[in-house]
Amino acid sequence: MMILRRKPSFFALITTIGAVSIMLALGIWQVQRLMWKEALIQTIEEASSQPPMDGLPESDEALQALTYEKILVEGEFLNAYELHLAARYHRGVLGYHVLTPFRLLDGRVILLNRGWVPTDKKEASTRPSSIVIGPHKELIMIRSDRDHTYFTPQHQPERNIWFWRDLDAIRAQSGLNLLPVNADIVGEQSDQLPVPATGEIKLRNDHLGYAITWFSVGLAALVIFIIYHRKPADL
């Protein structure tokens, strides 16, 4: 049982209770984030260990259930609808990701991230070798993660600059009935443009350290409060 010799002031008591409660809540939140991150990492590892699927599922529900799977698709790029995703870096160089609708053999259209190009190669006319015409196969990886936040800038469709894969806005702009899924083309890193994704996803997982920090700060505040009020009251 905690015995206090010095009666705590109302302000000190409320402040300590509030601080400890906040630190405890933050610690619990980080533990929850840790569990979520570990499950996500396991999902990515399991998907990466599987051989590529042959073609996309037929239903939208099955498509939206995919997470990080690799899939071999066949179709052709709709190059006239190319979009540019800003701002993206590759090996420290600023540029764009090239988004191009890809019409599958069954007529469905999926928006594919073809990869990175430098700023001076933003327009397709500056890189004619990147224009692929006719049916061919691509290895893609489904991306279910969000690529925008509250602070993400507004799109600039008049300049063909987009800041995240906003399928609703891109559908309205292009008039295409895009499938409800994001995907990256994956391949070898080379000098060829666009530079595709490697297909490797590395996630930082510092949540355990953050949780320990918050719990420690809360415990320290409580210990300081107890030690101070266990001292004899001033005469």
**Residue 82 tokens, joined:** 């190319």
Q: Look up residue 177 and give its two tokens.
A: 């009935």
Q: What is the pLDDT of residues 182-202, one digit of tens each?
A: 999 999 888 889 999 998 888
Q: What would the two tokens of residue 182 be? A: 């994001």
Helix (H, G, I), strand (E, B) or coil at 100: strand
State what percent of residues in the chain have pLDDT above 90.
70
Q: What is the pTM of this model?
A: 0.80
pLDDT in tens, 23-51: 999 999 999 999 999 998 998 888 888 89
Cβ atoms of residues 131 and 108 within 8 Å: no
Copy the structure tokens of residue 6. Answer: 């010095």
Average model confidence (pLDDT) across the chain:
90
| DSSP β-bridge partners for residue 97 | 85, 116
What's the confidence (pLDDT) of residue 235?
47
Helices 10-49 and 207-230, axial angle in degrees (round to 10): 160
The residue extents of the domains of the chain are: 1-51+202-235, 69-185
Question: Tens digit of pLDDT for each residue in 78-121?
Answer: 999 999 999 899 999 999 999 999 999 999 999 999 999 999 99
Residues with Cβ within 8 Å of residue 136, at least 6 apart in sequence: 74, 75, 76
Answer yes or no: is pLDDT of 233 > 70.
Answer: no
Classify residue 33 as exposed, middle or buried by CB count within 10 Å of its CB (0-12, 13-18, 19+).
Answer: middle
pLDDT score for 12:
84
Confirm if 190 and 129 have CB atoms less than 8 A apart: no
Residue with the bigger pLDDT between 223 and 3: it is 223
pLDDT exceeds cutoff 60 at 132: yes
Q: Which helix (H) or strand (E) holds 118?
A: strand 109-118
Write down the pLDDT at residue 147. Answer: 73
Residue 3 pLDDT class (50, 70, 90 cuts): low
The DSSP H or E segment spanning 215 is helix 207-230
